[in-house]
Amino acid sequence: MRPSKDLESVVKNAFKERHYVPNIVFRTFAEKNGTLLSYGSSRNLVSTLWRTGLMRSAGRGWSTICEKSKFDYVSPVNTLSAKLSEWFPYAESKCWSTHQLVDFFHHLPGMFYTYVYIDRSVMEQLRDRLEATWPKSRVIVNPSAASFLSERKTAENFIIRPITRDDENESGKALSLEGILVDLASEAELIIDEWDYKEIVRGAIQGFSINAQSILRRISRRRFASRNTIILCDALFAEGIENDAVKKFYRQLKKKFGSLP
């Protein structure tokens, strides 16, 4: 479907300074030049804009001009995902790894970290399975920040943490990219520097079509009180991804940590 000049103008104005916008803004832009009248409702207008390819859905209530992600962030954990299904077929589990983010690092890390979320009752069994399958790796069960720093690390490290309801609601064994960005905010201070985290967040948000609703919901539910959550929120807000709950949490974080350099 070839877009009209009016539709191109609506999208150009809506995304003038950002890559994501809530769909409600299209009513404002369209009403100014009468475009909305031709489509009956803002919902029909948004659907038409999606069909033309001028923009695409970024989760319920959101749209983006970012390209649909061709980034294969699942492959690095395919083997582990298959093992989790084999070992614990009736236990909910999720996993993610810094291997999935190598395209965003300025320098290739010397150590990699893979996180597995699973029911507390089988965390020790999982540790034994991982150590037997990847004997050269280091496996750590639900460490605190202090104990994690004191642990010996290797080139490959597994960290096992208890699964949460938010994790269980995601499909598949591999955690979504949105989930990785949020959860990495709580772990990044232990495994990568602040600059690398900024680059990962910037590259993912600006380079790929993320689900705005999903990442906002996870931030407000997980409520990780870290400096990196501020970095994540700053990047999201700059792209127009925000809601009242996350902004309130953000203000609390700024009060606790102050301004970042």
Q: Which structure tokens are listed for 149?
A: 């720093």
C-beta of residue 22 within 8 angstroms of C-beta of residue 43 = no
Cβ neighbors of 166 (< 8 A, separation 6 or more) are: 179, 218, 221, 222
Cβ neighbors of 7 (< 8 A, separation 6 or more) are: 35, 48, 49, 52, 54
The ranges assigned to domains in the chain are 5-64, 75-257
Q: What is the pLDDT along the chain (261 residues), one digit of tens a residue?
A: 455 677 787 788 888 888 898 888 877 766 665 555 555 566 778 888 888 888 889 888 899 988 776 667 788 999 999 999 999 999 999 999 999 988 888 778 889 999 999 999 999 999 999 999 999 999 999 999 889 988 889 999 999 999 988 776 677 899 988 999 999 999 988 898 888 899 999 888 887 788 999 999 999 999 999 999 999 999 999 988 999 999 999 999 999 987 665
DSSP state letters, 28-77: HHHHHHTGGGGTSSHHHHHHHHHHHTS-EE-STTEEE-SPPP----SGGG
Nearest to 253 by CA among 234, 227, 235, 219: 227
First to last CA, the chain: 46
C-beta of residue 121 within 8 angstroms of C-beta of residue 82 = no
CA distance 111 to 47: 45
C-beta of residue 20 within 8 angstroms of C-beta of residue 206 = no
